[in-house]
C-alpha cells in the first residue's frame, strides 16, 4: 500500500493507493496531518510514501518508517522529460499533474487544467516531453482582487451568473465567472489549433463547476494530482 500526501496552501490531502487504485482519501487541516498519518498506518499496511508540499510547513512524516519515502522536488526521478527552462522553479503540484498525464495518456498530447487558488495549464506532448504551460488567478483570487484593489466594489462569493450583469453584484459575477470560463475555452482552442488529437484533463476544486460549462470534450478527474503523485512513487520504486 502507498501513502500519498499532498500539502496545499490551506489544507492537505492524504490518500491510500493499492498499486494504481485509490482506496481511501481524506482532507486534513495542516495541524492534523501527522495524527491522520498515524490513523492510516494503523488501518492500512502502508509500505511506501510520497510527500508533496507547496508550503514551508514542516512535518515529521519523513521520520516515520516506510520501506520507501519520496519527498517530491525538482530532483526527483519522474516519468517524463522535463523541458521547462527553469525546472527548479516548477511547482511540485505541476510535476505531479504532468506525471499523471504521462502515465495515463502515453504518447498523447495532453493539456491538464487544474483550477484551485490559481489555475494552472500544463502541457505534455506525444513525445513524453513536458513543455510548460501557464498560471492564472483562480476564481476566488479574482473576486478578492476586485475588492482589494478598488475603492467601492464589494467582496463576493461565487454564485450563479448571467452574461449581462444588471447591477454591480451581477456584473462582478459575470466578469469573474464568465470571463474565467471564456479564458479556459480560449486556451483550449489555442492548444487544439497547435496540437492534433489533444486530450484535455480538468482537475482541482472547481472541477464540477467547470465541467458543466466548458465547450470542449474533457476528462474531469478531481483526483488527478493524487494519482500523479502515486505514479511518481511507483516510478521510483521500479528504478
List Cα–Cα distances, 66 to 2, 62, 125, 152, in angstroms: 9, 9, 34, 54
Q: Scan for cell 482589494, then name that residue.
A: 148
Answer yes or no: is 9 a known binding residue: yes
Reference 208, options 191, 193, 189, 221; nearest CA is: 221
Answer yes or no: is 32 a known binding residue: no
Answer yes or no: is 117 a known binding residue: yes
Answer yes or no: is 61 a known binding residue: no
Answer yes or no: is 114 a known binding residue: yes
Q: What burial class does residue 35 get, using C-beta atoms within 10 Å of its C-beta: 0-12 exposed, 13-18 middle, 19+ buried?
A: exposed
Answer yes or no: is 29 a known binding residue: no
Answer yes or no: is 92 a known binding residue: yes
Q: How far apart are CA 18 and CA 163, in angstroms?
A: 45
| Annotated catalytic residue 31 | no
Which entry of 20, 38, 93, 122 is annotated as an active-site residue? Answer: 93
Answer yes or no: is 10 a known binding residue: yes
Q: How far apart are CA 100 and CA 175, in angstroms?
A: 32
Phi/psi for 189 (5° steps) reads -60, -40
Answer yes or no: is 101 a known binding residue: no
Answer yes or no: is 200 a known binding residue: no
Beta strands in 109-228 (DSSP E): 109-115, 118-124, 129-137, 198-204, 219-220
Q: Which residues belong to the annotated binding site for ATP?
A: 6-13, 117
Q: Which residues belong to the annotated binding site?
A: 6-13, 84, 91-94, 114, 117, 168
Give the catalytic positions in this structure: 93
Q: Which residues belong to the annotated binding site for substrate?
A: 84, 91-94, 168
Q: Which residues belong to the annotated binding site for K(+)?
A: 114
Amino acid at each position: 500500500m502507498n501513502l500519498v500526501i499532498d500539502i496545499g496552501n490551506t489544507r492537505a490531502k492524504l490518500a491510500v493507493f493499492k498499486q494504481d487504485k485509490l482506496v481511501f482519501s481524506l482532507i486534513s487541516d495542516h495541524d492534523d496531518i501527522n495524527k491522520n498519518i498515524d490513523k492510516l498506518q494503523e488501518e492500512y499496511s502502508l509500505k511506501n510514501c510520497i510527500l508533496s508540499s507547496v508550503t514551508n510547513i514542516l512535518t515529521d512524516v519523513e521520520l516515520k518508517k516506510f520501506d520507501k519515502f519520496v519527498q517530491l522536488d525538482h530532483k526527483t526521478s519522474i516519468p517524463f522529460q522535463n523541458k521547462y527552462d527553469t525546472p527548479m522553479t516548477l511547482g511540485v503540484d505541476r510535476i505531479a499533474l504532468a506525471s499523471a498525464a504521462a502515465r495515463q495518456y502515453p504518447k498523447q498530447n495532453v493539456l491538464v487544467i487544474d483550477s484551485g487558488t490559481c489555475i494552472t495549464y500544463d502541457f505534455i506532448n506525444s513525445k513524453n516531453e513536458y513543455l510548460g504551460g501557464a498560471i492564472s488567478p483562480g476564481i476566488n483570487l479574482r473576486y478578492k482582487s476586485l475588492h482589494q484593489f478598488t475603492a467601492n466594489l464589494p467582496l463576493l462569493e461565487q454564485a450563479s451568473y448571467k452574461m449581462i450583469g444588471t447591477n454591480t453584484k451581477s456584473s462582478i459575477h459575470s466578469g469573474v465567472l464568465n470571463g474565467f470560463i471564456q479564458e479556459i475555452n480560449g486556451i483550449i482552442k489555442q492548444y487544439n489549433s497547435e496540437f492534433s488529437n489533444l486530450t484535455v484533463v480538468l482537475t482541482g476544486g472547481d472541477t464540477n463547476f467547470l465541467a458543466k460549462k466548458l465547450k470542449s470534450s474533457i476528462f474531469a478527474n478531481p483526483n488527478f494530482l493524487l494519482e500523479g503523485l502515486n505514479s511518481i512513487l511507483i516510478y521510483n520504486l521500479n528504478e
